[in-house]
Structure 1
Amino acid sequence: MLRKWLLASVMLAAIVAPAAADDVTAKMRDASKIALARPAGETTESTVRIARGDETIVGTLALPKGVEKPPVVLLLHGFTGKRDELEVAGTKEGVYSRTARLLAERGLASLRIDFVGSGDSSGKWEDTTTFSQIADAVAAFDWLKKQDTIDPGRIHVIGWSLGGLVASHLASVRPVDSATLWAPVANPAFSFGVVLGQDTVNKAMAATDPNELIEGTLPWGAKTSLKVPFFKSLFATDPVAAIAQYGGPLLVIVGTKDTVVTPQPAAGQLFLDYHTGDEGLMVLDTDHGFDAFTGPATLDEMVGATLSFIEAH
C-alpha cells in the first residue's frame, strides 16, 4: 500500500481536524526550510513556442545550469493570469517566474506557459474555456516528452487556482510524476459564481448565442468578458473526479483566508478524499494570492514544500 505522505491520520470526511492539519503543515514547513537552505545554483531561461492545431502556446523554459537532464515541472497559471503570474511585492518577479527560479537553483527545470488567449500566446481571451486550457496543458506535456534538455520520464505539474483544475485533468490523462495544486478550483460552477457573480453565470447559461460576450467583475474590481462556451465548460469539467483517476503523488496547498476558492480547507480536502495514493494537505494562514501583495515569504515557503514533495517522489 502506498503511504499517505504526512497525512495518514487526518482524513476525516471533507474536513481536516485542526490539530492534525497543524502537525502536517509544521512538518511541511520544516521540509521547506531544509529544501530552500541548500546552495543555489545558476539558471538559464529561454522562450519556447508549442503548436496546438492552428494555435501557438508561448512558454518559458527554465533550466538549472550544470544539471544533465533534470526533472521538469509544468506550471499552469490561474484565471486571467499569464505565465510569470502575479507580481510579488518587494521583488521584480511574478509568482511563477520566482517559483521557476527557486526550483531551477535547486536542480529542477520548469516550463511555464501562457494559455491560448492569454499573455503572448495566440488566440483571444474571450474564446478561452476550461477545455482549451486542458488541451494547452496536454500539448505542453507532450512537447516536454520530446525534449532532450530535460528528463522526459520525470514530468511534474503545479497548477494554481483554475490552473489547479487544469492540472487535475492533465494528471488524469497523462503520466505526470506528481501533481501539486495551489488553491485549486474544486467546484468550478460554484467558484465562478463567487468570482464573477452568480447573476453573470446565470446570464451566460441562459444565453442562446454562443458568441455572446458576457462581462463579469472580478473580486478585485477588474472586469473581464468571455463567450458563453467558457461558462458552459465550468459545468462540464470536474477536477475532483479527474483527480480520482490519478494514482500518483498529490500535494494540495490552501489558505484559510482564501475568499475566492472557498471554503477552506474543506475545498482542498475534497481532492484528497477522492484521490488514492501518496498525498498531503498543507494549510496556511494566507489568501488566494499567497500574500504576494505583501512579499514573498509565504510563496517561498510553498515552493520549498513543493520542491521537497517533488523530490520525495
Structure 2
Amino acid sequence: MMRSNSITLFVILCTFFAVNGCAVKPDVTRSAYIEQSLSIDNGSYKIPAILVTPKQKSNKPFPVVVMLHGTASQKNEVGGLYQRLAVYLAEVGIASVRIDFAGTGDSPVDYRFYNLTSAQRDVISTLDYVVTQPTIDAQRIGLVGFSQGGLIAQLVAAKDSRIKSLVAWSSVGGNGTGVFQFFFDEYYAEAKANGFAVVKFPWRSAPLNFGLQWFEEIKANSSLDNFKNYHGNLLAIAGTADTLVPYDSSIQLINHVGTTNAELHLIKGADHMFNVLGSATANGLAEDQSTAESVLSITTYWLVRNL
C-alpha cells in the first residue's frame, strides 16, 4: 500500500525552470571548482575516480556526493550527465566524487569483476577515502545512483549509516531479476557454461563480459525488502517514457524506504536517459538538453536542502 503521508509527488510538465528562485544553470566560465583524479584502493584493484571540490572559500568543510553510474556506462555517465552534475554541485558549495566500477571507463580490470558485491565494496572504499579528507564534511554525505547505480546506492545506504541523502535516477527498484530478466533470457545459459557471458550494447563499441556471479547475485537480490533499513532522505526521479526501467520501479522505492522524507519526481516524456541522447540507442547528444538540465537542477537544489 502506498504511504501517502510519506510521499511528495511532482509530475514535471515543463522541462526547464528555476528552483527556490535560484538560477539553475551554472556559469562554468567562473571556474568554480577544482578537479582531481584519484586512484582508490579497494583491496583487490584500484578504482578510478574524480574528486571535484568547490573553489569558493569556506570556513566549513563541504558536503559531498558520490555518483554511481549505470550498466555499461562510466564515471562521467551518458551524455556527460555526472560530469555536468559535478559542476552544478560545485556552484552551490557541494563536492562530488564520481567513480568507474570494475571493467568500465578507466578501470584496470575486466567487467567479469563487476557484481553487486564488488560494486558495494567500491562505494564503501570511496566513502572511506572521502571521510579522511579535511575539506569534506563526513556528516553530510549523499549518493546519486543512475539505473543499476541506483540499485547499488540502495544496497549501500541500507547498511551504511554515513549516507544522509540518496538520489535515484531512473533507478532499478525491486527484488530478484526484475528488469534484468532480458539478460537472464539471453545470456544466463552462456554465463553458466563459460563463467561469463559476452554482452553487446548499441552505445558501446566493445562488449562487456558479465560474470556468472553478477547473475547469481541479481537472482538473490533483496534490496527492496532491505530498503526499510534506510532512514535518510530520498529523491527518486524517473521519466514517464522510460521503457528500460519503467517508473514503477521508482514508486516501489518510495513505498519501501524507511524514511518519511521521500520525494518522487516524474518527468513527462523523458526516457531512461532523460532524453540526453535523443533516444535510448543514440550515440550523440540531443540538440534539446532541457529535460536533462531539469534533472540536474532538481537534483542540485534538493541536495542543497537535504545534505
Per the normalisation by structure 1, the TM-score is 0.82
Q: Deviations over 1:18-52 (max 9, x none)?
A: xx643x778x9652773516877511101011111
Aligned counterpart for 1:97 among listed residues 56, 59, 83:
83
Find the aligned partners of 2:209 and 2:75 in 1 and give their Cα distance.
20
- The aligned counterpart of 2:232 is 248
Paired residue secondary structure (2:24): helix
Contact 1:82 1:119 survives alignment (8 Å) = yes
Per-residue deviation at 1:197?
Answer: 5.9
Contact 1:76 1:160 survives alignment (8 Å) = yes
Find the aligned partners of 1:256 and 1:299 in 2 and give their Cα distance.
14
Contact 1:10 1:21 survives alignment (8 Å) = no
Aligned counterpart for 2:168 among listed residues 181, 196, 201:
181
- The aligned counterpart of 1:59 is 49
Q: Aligned runs of 1:115-264 on 2, under 5 Å?
A: 115-174=101-160, 175-187=162-174, 189-194=177-182, 196=183, 198-201=185-188, 203-204=190-191, 207=192, 212-218=195-201, 223-262=207-246, 264=247
Per-residue deviation at 1:296?
Answer: 2.8
CA RMSD of aligned residues (A): 2.7
Per-residue deviation at 1:199?
Answer: 3.1
Kindly indicate whether residue 68 of structure 2 is the aligned counterpart of residue 81 of structure 1. no
Aligned counterpart for 2:33 among listed residues 43, 46, 70:
43
Q: Deviations over 1:129-165 (max 9, x none)?
A: 1111111111111111111122122111100001000
Contact 1:193 1:200 survives alignment (8 Å) = no
Unaligned runs of 5+ in 2: 278-285
Q: Which structure carries more strand by proportion?
A: 2
Per-residue deviation at 1:255?
Answer: 0.7
Contact 1:103 1:109 survives alignment (8 Å) = yes
Unaligned runs of 5+ in 1: 12-19, 88-93
Find the aligned partners of 2:184 and 2:172 in 1 and give their Cα distance.
16
Aligned counterpart for 1:297 among listed residues 290, 295, 298:
290
CA separation of 1:235/1:300 partners in 2, compared to 1, >3 Å: closer, same or farther?
same
Contact 1:192 1:201 survives alignment (8 Å) = no
Contact 2:77 2:83 survives alignment (8 Å) = yes
Per the normalisation by structure 2, the TM-score is 0.84
Find the aligned partners of 1:96 and 1:34 in 2 and give their Cα distance.
20
Contact 2:116 2:217 survives alignment (8 Å) = yes
Task: Please identify, of 76-85 and 294-303, the stretch whose mean Cα deviation from structure 2 is larger.
Answer: 294-303
- The aligned counterpart of 1:312 is 305
CA separation of 1:300/1:50 partners in 2, compared to 1, >3 Å: closer, same or farther?
same
Identity %: 27
Contact 1:185 1:239 survives alignment (8 Å) = no
Find the aligned partners of 1:52 and 1:260 in 2 and give their Cα distance.
31
CA separation of 1:67/1:231 partners in 2, compared to 1, >3 Å: closer, same or farther?
farther
Find the aligned partners of 1:235 and 1:115 in 2 and give their Cα distance.
20
Q: Deviations over 1:194-252 (max 9, x none)?
A: 3x362323554xx2x5x522133447687433121111111122332232210111000
Find the aligned partners of 1:202 and 1:51 in 2 and give their Cα distance.
33
Q: Deviations over 1:61-101 (max 9, x none)?
A: 011112432111100011111101112xxxxxx11111111
